[in-house]
Amino acid sequence: MLTPLQAENIRYSCPFGLVPLPSPGPVRLQASLTGGHVTFSFATDGDSHDLDKSLDASFLSDEACQEGWFTGARGRLCCLDLTGGRVHTDFSYFRMVV
């Protein structure tokens, strides 16, 4: 399962819910920023899949933070095994192009 998490001012949401992966194996994730909106997609076995909506990207700005400790946009990858099956993931690379 894939679940993009949105975090803003200590509020967390999963705007796309749980997205099932069509096959096991490597997954390529992508976020694209265009005209103030961010879209997400992923690829497995060479097949690309777009998530169904774009989000207003203003939550990525330090202007959106009300706590006063945020210093800029961030992207992170993590794996949480919520199944109890001790499933893990390995990340081979992370690249952010600005």
What digits encode the pLDDT tens for the residues 41-91? Answer: 999 987 899 998 899 887 776 666 676 666 666 677 778 777 788 878 888
Tell me, what's the pLDDT at 41?
A: 93
71: left (phi over 0), alpha (psi -120 to 50) or beta: alpha
Q: What is the pTM of this model?
A: 0.74
Domain positions in the chain? 1-90
What value, to the nearest 5°, has the Cα angle with vertex 77 and ends 75 and 78? 140
